[in-house]
Structure formats: structure tokens, C-alpha cells
Amino acid sequence: MDFSSANTALWSFIIQLGVIAGLMLAANLLRRKIAFVRKTLMPTAVLAGFILLAIRSFGWGIVTVEMLEVLTYHGIALGFIALSLRIADTEASLGSERLTAPKSGALIVSCYTIQGMAGLIISLLLSYTIMPDLFKASGILLPMGYGQGPGQANNIGSTFESLGFAGGRSFGLSLAASGYLVACIVGVICINVLVRKGKLKRTDAEIESGSVTVDAFQDKGEVPISESIDRLSIQMALVLGVYLLSYLAISGISTLTAGLGDDISNTISTLLWGFNFIVGSAIALLLRSVLKVLRKNNIMTRQYQNNYLLSRISGFAFDLMIIAGIGSIRISDLRGLWLPFILMSVSGMVITLVYLQWLCKKNYPNYYYEGLLSMYGMMTGTISSGVLLLREVDPMFKSPAANNLITGSGTAIIFGAPMLALIAIAPISAEMTWLTLGLLVIYTALLIVFILKAGKKKRR
């Protein structure tokens, strides 16, 4: 075998990963040393993604689009699998108020539905007026970009592209990139306005490394450090093993549905491969339950999951996904889509803020501003941008706001199941797109009723 640079198949993958790693370090250096960049609160991965996008825009194809698409697709699945394998913290899962976790989950999903309604109204109005060739269901990509981030925007956009939406993938990824900017810029403006009005006190968001105790790194009963296999190797084996099982499961289902007809089979297969991270998360949760039962019955005496390392694996996967997702945007694909892109970006920014201002007062009356900032950052960017905004006003996470992001995201999986079905039926036809809009209105109303009424005790 030729191990020299002439063997491009051997070195291409490593070279491209090295370039991405270098951009990540460069972005971190810019964020640390340039005050203006640091004050924007833009995550390092987002900044690195924009640098990579600028490099590619100049025609310097050091990293191929194919490579970036692979990293984006697999990154979201590996990240969610790692998170799903984490041992649940029963104390952290309890909210400070009654039903806080499910109500936070309902709030998150209702933001998706509100954003989806706004996006569909824009895409439908444009398709029936000045842009008759616009893909009518394109508006449903707004909650995928703003609420879910580049991973989902990439997957659903690619699915829509295969169904006839030219430039759908870049459109979704551009909305996700816009959402990051909204989270950072609008979030920082809100913080500064509240500080000037005396409603908030901005504190130093830096936390000393010495404040982290050994309890954050290991739990009782874990595999000892002296074991013959490294802990990180075990975590990677669990994550990659679950991903292999998810691949086999999707392949099996696709094979079984092949006899249902080409249209049905292709639709199911496209959705399953597009939502591979959900299948992976479900298998990871199942494995976590099995391991818990084995330990409870003393069949297995060691805890093999390490929450700290699994969090680091998911963080690494998500950082790669964000850089690759933003960097792989094809600006040329947005030709002819700038008007819906701008309208959806602005409407998503405004309607999300107004909606959260109303419901966060109801849901988090004792820590309204912390709850608002954290939720707004997450519902326009990702959970990382929500935490970044929260750390500006609550660096030690004394309020339950940070915990709500985690527990709410977990319960949002249940509330979000109908949303996945609506995303699947929206692009089928114009009639189904209108039906999706109507069902979003009904489901939003049900979620709001749950948020406002759940847990309310009757007074005598």
C-alpha cells in the first residue's frame, strides 16, 4: 500500500479534518483575543463555520462539500446518541415547580409550531402571488433551522430537495445560520437593554476550572481508571455500537417496506434515513434502560456510561456538525430564494421573542428573565447559545433555567412526535400543506392550554 501523499484516498479525510480543526482553534483565538467578537457571544463553532463559508465563497475548496455533508449528517446522530446514553440524574430532573419539565417541553414544541405557522404562511402567500414556483412547504424549514439547528435543517432540507425543492438543503442551513446570528445579536441587545433599565445585573460569565469537583467526572460504581480499557474507549464503543444498530434497524425497515410500492417505500425510507438521529436516540434510550435493569438485578456490577465523557463526545460531534453545516451552505443555491429567506428570518426573530415573552412570564414567574433569555437563545440557535446567553446573567446557574433546557428538551421529544408527522405530510401536495398549517394551529392551541393549565391546583 502506498502511504505517501500520492494516495489521496488515504490522506484526504485527515487533511480536511485537520483544516476544520485549525479553523476551530483560530476561531477560538479570535473569540478570546478580540473583545468585539467575544461580546457577540457567538459560539466558537459558529464563528469557525462562517470562516469556512467565507473561504469556500472565495473558491478555495480545501474542504469538499461532500465531506462537510457527511460530517453534518453523522454529527447530529452521534451527538444525540451520546446524550441519550447518559445516566439520568433523578435530582436534576425534578423542576422547582410542579410539572416544570413537561411544561418546558411543551413550550419548546409550541415554539416550533409557531415558527412553522409563520414560515408556512409566508411560503404559501408567496407561492400563490409573486413566486408561483416556490416550494409551498418550504416554510416548515423555519422551525427546523431556528428551533432545531443545522443538523435537522440539513436533513429535512435534503429530503425536501429530493421531493422537488431546488436548493432546499442550503435554504434550511441558511435559516439555521441566520438563527445563530439572531440568538447572539438580539440576545445580547436584550441583555444590554435590561441591564440599562436596572432589571438585570450582568456578571462575569467565566467560571474557574477549580470550581468543578470530581463528582462531575465520575459516578459511584463506574469502571475504575485502572481497568484494562480506557473509559473514553468504552464510551466511543457504546456510541458507535448504537449507531451501527440504528443503521441495521433502518436498513431492515426499508427492506421490509419495499413491497408496499415504490412511492410508499421511498417516502418511508427517505424519512427514516433523514431522521436517523431519532432512531439512534431511541435505541440508545432502550440500551440505557437495559443496562439499568441489568445493574438493578446485579447481573452487571459496573456502570459503563460516564456522563462527563458522553457529554464531551456529544459536544465534539455537535461542534463538528455546526462547522460543517454552516460551511457547506451553497450561496448560489439561494438565488431566487432571498425574499422568502429574509421574510422567514425576520418573522422567526420577532414572533419567537414576542411569544416567549408572553409564556415565560407564565411558566417561569420566579426567574422570568433567565428563562426568557435561555429559551430564546435555544429556540433561535441551539442549546449552547441558550446557555451562553444565560451565563451572562446567571454564570453559576443558580436559577433552574439551565436545567429547564435539558429536561424540557427531553420531554419535547414526546410533544414533538406529531410535529414530525406534519413535516412528513406537508410536502406531499398543496392540499396537504394547507392541512399541515391548520393542524399546526390546532396543536399550538392545545400546547398553550397545557402550559397555562397543567399543574394548577383548585383553590377552595
Q: Tell me, what's the pLDDT at 310?
A: 87
Q: Tell me, what's the pLDDT at 92?
A: 41
Residues 122 and 340: beta-carbon distance below 8 Å? yes
Distance, in Å, from the CA atom of 22 to the CA atom of 7, rounded to the nearest integer, reads 22
Q: Tell me, what's the pLDDT at 62?
A: 80
Distance, in Å, from the CA atom of 428 to the CA atom of 203, rounded to the nearest integer, reads 50
Burial letters 147-168, b for 16+ CB under 10 A, else e: bbbbbbbbbbbbbbbeeebebb
* 460 occurs within a structural domain: no
Q: Is the pLDDT of residue 22 over 50?
A: yes
Distance, in Å, from the CA atom of 179 to the CA atom of 377, rounded to the nearest integer, reads 9
Model confidence at 278, in pLDDT bands (50, 70, 90)? confident
Distance, in Å, from the CA atom of 259 to the CA atom of 268, rounded to the nearest integer, reads 12
Model confidence at 436, in pLDDT bands (50, 70, 90)? very high
Domain that holds residue 337: 11-87+99-204+228-453
Percentage above 70 pLDDT, the chain: 84
* 75 occurs within a structural domain: yes
* 380 occurs within a structural domain: yes
Contact partners, residue 20, CB within 8 Å, separation at least 6: 48, 52, 63, 71, 320, 323, 324
Q: Tell me, what's the pLDDT at 208?
A: 45
Model confidence at 444, in pLDDT bands (50, 70, 90)? very high
Q: Tell me, what's the pLDDT at 65?
A: 79
Task: Specify the number of domains making up the chain.
Answer: 1
Q: pLDDT per residue over 139-176, tens digit each?
A: 999 998 888 777 678 778 888 888 888 888 888 888 88
Q: Is the pLDDT of residue 409 over 50?
A: yes
* 313 occurs within a structural domain: yes
* 151 occurs within a structural domain: yes
Distance, in Å, from the CA atom of 149 to the CA atom of 161, rounded to the nearest integer, reads 18
Q: How many helices (H) and strands (E) does the chain have?
A: 18, 0
Q: Tell me, what's the pLDDT at 18?
A: 92
* 2 occurs within a structural domain: no
Q: Of 89, 184, 144, 188, which is closest to residue 402 (Cα–Cα)?
A: 89
* 5 occurs within a structural domain: no
Q: Tell me, what's the pLDDT at 95?
A: 42
Cα distances from 333 to residues 78, 107, 158, 341, in angstroms, run: 28, 33, 13, 12
Distance, in Å, from the CA atom of 136 to the CA atom of 144, rounded to the nearest integer, reads 16
* 149 occurs within a structural domain: yes
Q: pLDDT per residue over 325-376, tens digit each?
A: 778 777 766 777 889 999 999 999 999 999 999 998 888 888 888 889 889 9
Q: Is the pLDDT of residue 210 over 60?
A: no
Q: Tell me, what's the pLDDT at 223?
A: 63
Distance, in Å, from the CA atom of 181 to the CA atom of 18, rounded to the nearest integer, reads 26
Q: Is the pLDDT of residue 459 over 60?
A: no
Who has greater pLDDT, 207 or 120?
Answer: 120
Distance, in Å, from the CA atom of 418 to the CA atom of 224, rounded to the nearest integer, reads 43
Percentage above 90 pLDDT, the chain: 21
